[in-house]
Structure 1
Amino acid sequence: MEEVNFGKKHSRLVALKKDRQLLAIRGVTGSPLATTLCCEAARQALTDSELLLNVEDADVQVFKLPEHADATHCKAMLRALPDVRFAGSVLVEPHTGDPILYTENLFLKFIDPLTSVQCLKILDALNLEIKQQVPYAKNAFFVHHRDCRGTHVCSLSRQLLERDDVEYCHPEMLRQGQRRAIHHNQWHLKKTIVSYQFEIDASANVEAAHALVQGEGVVIAIIDDAFDIDHPEFAGPTKIIGAQNFDRRNAARGPRPKNALERHGTAAAGVACANGDAGACGVAPRASLMPLKLTKPLGARAEADAFYWAAEQGADIISCSWGPLEGHWADPTDPRHTQVFPLAASTRLAIEYAATKGRSGKGCVIFFGAGNGNESLDNDGYSSHPMVIAVGACNDQSRRSAYSDYGKALWCCFPSGDQQHPDPKYKPATSIPQTRGIRTTDLSGKFADAAHPAFIESFSGTSSACPGAAGVAALILSANPALDRESVRRILAECCDKIGHADDGPLGQYDQDGHSHYYGHGRLNALRAVQIAIKRRQEQVG
């Protein structure tokens, strides 16, 4: 059993165990691992094995060996290959079996009173090589000890954390993430007749808000898998700002997708700020888009770099429709429902930098999708961070979507699709189908789906709700750019409609502060949010 502590401050001890049926392979820098594993010796070692995880940018792959395999022999065969740097067992979460990779880098932050010269002297004395001095926290580095390999990096981090001059220290741990999605009718924007049959009145009242503002002058950064920035709905001289690709190997491609599987970011961006010229309108159609491509596993240092980049390049809002692996929304026995997922210290500090230093000190407004596991988001270090706005999903019946995560950290909800409710006692108010998704942008050009070129009707989950809420924040800042992050957060709470149903039970009820575990402060009402922002501006002038 290996133990990792993420720091003295926000301390969280995570116990991990080795799974000897899982095999991690790391290639030598500059030698593509995929090519190496095509040789005859590698094929023999990995016969009947299943590829579980491929971190292309780091030349790491994880395989599940068949039960009959001799793991020791397989490792020995792979280690003999000249382009294999490491082949060994994989650490997993004890309760869920989810694999956790670790690089041989450590995130290390010294206490603030030390000078930079003192930090460098200590690193030199400890034989730690600097891989990156991070710009979003004082006295913080990613470092490497050339004699430390495998799980020894965990014991080294524990030793360093015992020092009085060290505040945070942990290995760069990579975990599988999950996009917050479940699978001409833009019912989430206005009261409308959909499919020429049903009248839906469960929107965030966005169309009415557009009569006042449409997101002019606001930049929405979306961190996601890829973006079709050539899509007609993202056209215009100031539409795309500060685009960046944080995948080292494919950086030259920019944020564009490299295959048809990378379509999640395009859909999320469309919900937030599609122009509305060709087939789908975003909540803030005149806002600019900062597309930040990030496909690395959770916890990678590039994750923190993306938040820092957004803040430094002028983002007003940051939207993230991703997070830890979740339990199945309809299976109450899934062990992932109770899995606690702590934030890497590097990511925590970068989020806090963006939230406090962004927008010239007014702070970037940061959104995360609450999650789609029908579980408590309070266990999720990303969406429950106090400087993050966690967004849940509600359906076309003005009720919580069956999969949407809940808890005390939930701030608000925004319309999205739904799944059939797992509770047989759940009775929808009408016969309108409960699986209606959101119309938004999809891949165009060479990756377009022949059935739905450039647009999709079924985007769903809190993946869709999150950029929708980010779009409402863009309308607020367009109406009143002087507002700081906390003021926007309060307006988002104040503007909400108190939706719900008598069958929701205690978690659906609103407390004396107007908060519900199922709905946060309720469903966002964009028109009311803009009206409040305008009133605040008039009060400031007066």
Structure 2
Amino acid sequence: MVEINFGKQHSRPFALEKNRQLLAIRGCAGKPLTHALCCESADTALQGCELVLHIEDADVQVYKLPQHSDPSQRKALLRELPDVRFAGSVLMDPITQDPVLYTENVFLKFIDSLRATQCMAILEELGVMIKQQAPYASNAFFVHHPAVQGTDIFTLAAEWLKRDEIEYCHPELLRQGQRRAIHANQWHLKKTTVTYQVDIDASANVEAAHELAQGEGVVIAVIDDAFDIDHPEFAGEGKIVGAQNFDRRNAKQGPRPKNALERHGTAAAGVACANGKVGASGVAPRASLMPLKLTKPLGARAEADAFYWAADQGADIISCSWGPAEGHWADPADPRHSQVFPLAASTRLAIEYAATKGRNGKGCVIFFGAGNGNECADNDGYSSHPHVIAVGACNDQNRRSAYSDFGKVLWCCFPSGDQQHPDPKFKPATSTPQTRGIRTTDLSTRFVAQTLPAYTDSFSGTSSACPGAAGVAALVLGVNPGLDRLAVRQILADCCDKIGHADDGPLGQYDENGHSHYYGHGRLNAMRAVQRALALKATAG
């Protein structure tokens, strides 16, 4: 077992255990692991093994060993290969049993009062190489100790954290993230009649808001898997700004998808700001899109880099429809429901930088999908970050979507699709969805066999709710750009519709502050939010 502390010296650490039935292999720098494993020795070592995970950027592969297999001989064979840097057991989360990988890089931040020369002197004393100086925090670095391999890096980081000059120090951990989706009617924007003449009146009142605002002059950064930036709904001068690919090994490809599986970002971006010229409108159709491709595991240093880039390149709003893996929404016994997911110090500091330094000090407004596990979002280090607005999903019946996460940190909800549970005893009780989900952009003809630009009617989850809320914030900032992030946050809360149902139980009830664990402050009402922003602007003169 190893312990990791993402906080300061006396913060509570969390533990990871070794799983000896999983085998991790890491290649040497500059030598592709797939080439290193193309030999007879590797074939012998991996006979009967199942590849369960490949982290491309770190060039790490994880294999599941056959039952009753002796891992020591397999490791010995692999360690003899010239281009294999590491072959050993895998760390795992003791609750979820999910593998957790590490890169042997360490995030290290000195206290702010230290001068740059003092930081460099200590780094030289520690015998480390600087991999990156983090731009989103003072005196912060990713470093590498060339003489330390394996889990010894955890011991070393813990020892360094005991020094008074060091504020944060932990190895770079990589975990598989999860997109917040649950796999033509834009009922989320206005009252709509859908298939079979069913009237849906459960929108965020967006169409009415478009009479006053459409997001002009606002930049929405969407951090996601990939983006079809050639889609007609993202066309036009100034629509795409600051695009970047944070998958370093594929940086030349830009933010575009590599294959048809990378379609999540295109759908999320469409909910936020699709032009609406052809087949689907975003909530803020005249806002600009900053597409930031990030498919790396959670905790990678590129994750922090993406937030810094967004703020530094002029994003007003940042939308993130992803987060930690979660329990199955319909299985109350899933152990992931109770898992606390801590946030790496590097990512936490980068979010704080964007929220306090972005927009020339007024702060970027940052949204995260609360999650689709029907579990407490308070345990999620991303959506529970105090500078983040956590967005839940509500359905076409004016109720919480059955899968949507809840808790004290939930700020608001936005219309999305729903799932029906077959057991009538399921709590909260679920109603039959009248719609397939949300209509938005999908990959166009270069990726799918269609003759028209592609759209989907079934985008769902808090993956859809999050960019929808981001779009409402863009409408607000479009009419009153002088607002800081806290003012925008409060406007969204004050202008929500109090939805819900009598059988939601205590978690669905609104307290004296107008907050509910199921709905946050309620379902966003775009028209009311824009009107409030205009009123504040008029009052300010």
TM-score normalised by L of structure 1? 0.97
After TM superposition, list the pairs within 5 Å mapping 1:411-450 onto structure 2: 411-421=411-421, 424-425=424-425, 433=433, 436-448=436-448, 450=450
Aligned residue for 2:496, secondary structure, equals coil
- Which amino acid counterpart does residue 271 of structure 1 have in structure 2? V
The number of residue pairs the alignment matches comes to 541
* 2:225 is equivalent to residue 225 of structure 1: yes
Q: Deviations over 1:385-422 (max 9, x none)?
A: 11000000000001000000000000000000000136
SS at 2:536's partner residue?
A: helix
Cα gap change, 1:329 to 1:435, in 2 (>3 Å):
farther
Q: Distance in 2 between matches of 1:10 and 1:462?
A: 35
Q: 1:281 maps to which residue?
A: 281
1:28-177 paired onto structure 2 within 5 Å: 28-177=28-177
1:79-132 Cα offsets, whole Å, 9 max, x none, are: 122221111111001111111001111000111111010000001011011111
- Structure 2 equivalent of residue 264 of structure 1: 264
**Mapped partners of 1:476, 1:205: distance in 2:** 14
Distance 1:429 1:133 in 2: 50
SS of the aligned residue for 1:350 comes to: helix
What amino acid is aligned across from residue 125 of structure 2 in structure 1?
A
Go from structure 1 to structure 2 and tell me whether the alpha carbon gap of 1:293 and 1:74 turns closer, same or farther (over 3 Å shift).
same
CA deviations over 1:498-532 (Å, ceiling 9, x no partner)? 00000100000000000000000000000000000
Per-residue Cα deviation, 1:16-70 (whole angstroms, up to 9, x for no partner): 1100011111111222212333333222222232222211112111111111322
Deviation digits for residues 136-170 of structure 1 (CA, Å, limit 9, x no counterpart) = 10111001111110000100010001111111000
Q: What CA distance in whole angstroms lies between the structure 1 residues aligned with 2:53 and 2:216?
A: 41
Q: Classify the secondary structure of the residue corresponding to 2:29.
A: coil
Please tell me whether the aligned partners of residues 393 and 461 of structure 2 are also in contact (alpha carbons under 8 angstroms).
yes
Mapped contact 1:181–1:464 kept (Cα < 8 A): yes
Counterpart residue number, 1:301:
301
* Greater Cα shift, 157-166 or 71-80: 71-80
CA separation of 1:133/1:66 partners in 2, compared to 1, >3 Å: closer, same or farther?
Answer: same
2:160 and 2:108 map into 1 onto residues whose CA distance is 9
1:272–1:470: 8 Å Cα contact kept in structure 2? yes
Measure the CA separation in 2 of the matches of 1:422 and 1:360. 51
Partner Cα distance (2:429, 2:17) in 1: 48
Q: Please tell me whether the aligned partners of residues 444 and 452 of structure 2 are also in contact (alpha carbons under 8 angstroms).
A: no
Aligned to 1:396: 396
Maintained 8 Å contact 1:214/1:287: yes
CA distance in 2, matches of 1:531, 1:9: 47
Judged with a 3 Å threshold, the aligned counterparts in structure 2 of structure 1 residues 9 and 191 are, in CA distance, closer, same or farther, namely farther
1:470 aligns with 470
Q: Aligned partners of 1:156 and 1:33: how far apart in 2? A: 27
Give, as a single letter, the amino acid of the residue that structure 2 aligns with 1:109: K
Query: In 2 relative to 1, CA 140–401 (structure 1 residues): closer, same or farther, beyond 3 Å?
Result: same
Tell me if structure 1 keeps the 8 A contact 2:438–2:460: yes
* CA distance in 2: counterparts of 1:381 and 1:9, whole angstroms: 19
Query: CA separation of 1:429/1:409 partners in 2, compared to 1, >3 Å: closer, same or farther?
Result: closer
Instruction: Give distance in 2, aligned partners of 1:427 and 1:347.
Output: 34
Identity %: 77
Check 1:9–1:321 CA distance in 2 against 1; reply closer, same or farther (3 A cut).
farther
For 1:373 and 1:37, the matched residues in 2 are separated by 38
2:331 aligned with 1:368: no
Larger displacement relative to structure 2 (229-238 or 426-435): 426-435
Is the contact between residue 419 and residue 435 of structure 1 (CA under 8 Å) also seen in structure 2? no
Q: Secondary structure at the match of 2:464?
A: helix
**2:182 equivalent in structure 1:** 182
Unmatched tracts of structure 1, length 5 or more: none
Q: Secondary structure at the match of 1:445?
A: coil
**What is the deviation of 1:479?**
1.0
Compared CA separation, residues 303 and 10, structure 1 to 2 (3 A): farther
Contact 1:202 1:398 in 2 (8 A): yes
Give the aligned residue type for 2:372. N
Post-superposition CA distance 1:343-379 (Å, at most 9, x none): 0000000000000000000000000000000000000
Query: SS of 2:269's equivalent?
Result: helix
1:82 is aligned with what amino acid?
A: P
Contact 1:393 1:414 in 2 (8 A): yes
Task: Please say which of residues 56-65 and 321-330 is displaced more in the overlay.
Answer: 56-65
User: CA 1:286 to 1:45, structure 2 compared with 1: closer, same or farther past 3 Å?
Assistant: same
Deviation at 1:197, TM superposition (A): 2.0
Instruction: Give secondary structure in 2 for the equivalent of 1:58.
Output: coil
Unaligned runs of 5+ in 2: none
Question: Does the aligned pair in 1 maintain the 2:231–2:453 contact within 8 Å?
Answer: no
Over the aligned positions, Cα root-mean-square deviation in angstroms equals: 1.7
Separation of aligned partners in 2, 1:453 and 1:422: 36
Report the alpha carbon displacement of residue 12 of structure 1 after superposing the two structures with TM. Answer: 3.6
Question: Against the structure 1 CA distance between its residues 456 and 207, is the aligned structure 2 distance closer, same or farther, given a 3 Å change threshold?
Answer: same
Q: Is the 8 A contact 1:12 1:342 kept in 2?
A: no
* Contact 2:428–2:503 (Cα < 8 Å) also in 1: no
State the distance in 2 between where 1:18 and 1:498 align: 47
